[in-house]
Structure 1
């Protein structure tokens, strides 16, 4: 390879690795959210809503959608494809493949979904829309949470990242199940059959070790369109395709498809799909009156309580119970204070919680719920960061003492 081409390839590889960095993904996500809030609350706000609501796409396939809907239904499918790949890798060759190591993040994720939902239902009981809005605080944002951990917990044992990643991936799988069940208003049996055939063909091609993208890309598009037409939220197609991807490398194969595809598409997810979704989902009116309604109206208060209080209690409480009764083991090198900080970090709902709010509610109720999601995510991230910095310092001092 000529020197200039080799240099360009190295630069591309370095940039790709930079985009895969969890801190980078979290930073881009925060920047997109800040731009959305500033744009939607500026004198140019009309242009924001005009862009977000501009429609395009083939009417014949029922795909004439707004730009905001394309970001929500289309781009987020890539995010959930990467999440499905991560889950498949963890289930087959990662921490979740070993029963004792898998039990704690799995039960913690279940606690982190059930308890926030119960807290939200209790606090918001009787409020219009709570029968669907209880699902908003069940999710944890993978990119944002891992980004905060990367920034504040460099001295924590590697088991902390594995625990949080496993918990967040299982959490998002649960959120996908909730979306499929709770937000499916119609069901087209023929389209569902086409989707099943597309998934089966994808799995067969994986089994036959076919690698060409020119087969998989059209197949993925067909699967996405069929799931969308079936009445199920189209992002489900992404997570199913991720879970159907082969996770073990063959002899002579450098890496399994699940790892190769994760490395290939994670930068696009972190730098394009999730930020663009946030750009068109987080553009809500923020002023004194709006914030006042968020902290005094039952439904957004329920979302706040679910994410900030319910997540922490659910994750830490269920983890403690599982260890106490011998069902699971505490991650190696981690104390209960470490787990407490990570449990608070689980309250960063962000991407998937914003999606839930858009699916569950409309109008001003949706805006209030999304404001609550943003506020709760910031509070949870800051509170967790303070605790993680203290734990990071404690672990650093322990390492220094050991070295002496």
Structure 2
């Protein structure tokens, strides 16, 4: 089109760049180093202290602060997560250790009950069985001990912290992780959403969405045990959330090596909270203690906006179209038309799901999607009965 747009205006002096990051041009480690090591003056007047570039807040009784004072805290937390270190600590988020010990007993019962069941147990970024993990500890805690559940999740600081980053109507989920003495550290990574994609999937998301992904969730953890440095509290790389190519970079060995050489950790006491931007490079540390079972309730809080406007039920659509789709595939293979239809009729994203029944694999961090199952069914020549059985099982297993 000779550098001319459809409305006749030339764009010859303003070339349009690619919307995707390049797999052939690795992210710049030098730029990453500069971003994470440049001396930055941190000014958070409401923080009690700043340790290793991590602001530490002493959380008072909720009733002691006025709405304006709470809003001022939210302003600081928002700045920290967006354009500051990307992480902060809330000391004494839970002041009642008796409550936490009661909750820990509920967690122990859940873990003991689940260990009696057969089946593979998955984990994110760590080998199966390396830790004690409770998927969906939120729901399981409620069903195990409703009274302590009410007392735990009625903490008014939780929505104040969450809404500072996500605004109203967010949704909280939780997973318990208990790291045993001698357990190895995680690899450095970024979190949900794009952090749970493999590299081939990650590169397909445009640059703006890679940046926007971090605005859709807030990562948090409540310490359910004391976490001295020897027990391996979360390893953090302040300011790394601002590296736009971070989701493309964290799997690269040079970036992982740099993280290991430069991460910081802060000790936590039982009841403390740790909150961070999901794009922050981080990893659970190595538990080098002799007898500390490092226990945390991991909070993953999601924006209200990560939902479609209407509900689509895949099963009846596949039931009505499978024979037509099989005929198209028989003639064309996995053509653009076949892939377009599969992409429109089925869910390509396997979350939310039940991670007890649909175990994530360590390398990909995600179970198979509906689209993946349909493509596999076409490739293997499934009958309508078989594909519908697979779809129903996937849907049933995804329920809490």
**Which TM bucket (shorter chain)?**
under 0.3
The two structures have a TM-score, normalised by structure 2, of 0.27
User: Larger strand proportion, structure 1 or 2?
Assistant: 2
Bigger RCO (CA 8 Å, 6+ sep): 1
Larger Rg: 2
User: Larger helix proportion, structure 1 or 2?
Assistant: 1
The two structures have a TM-score, normalised by structure 1, of 0.26
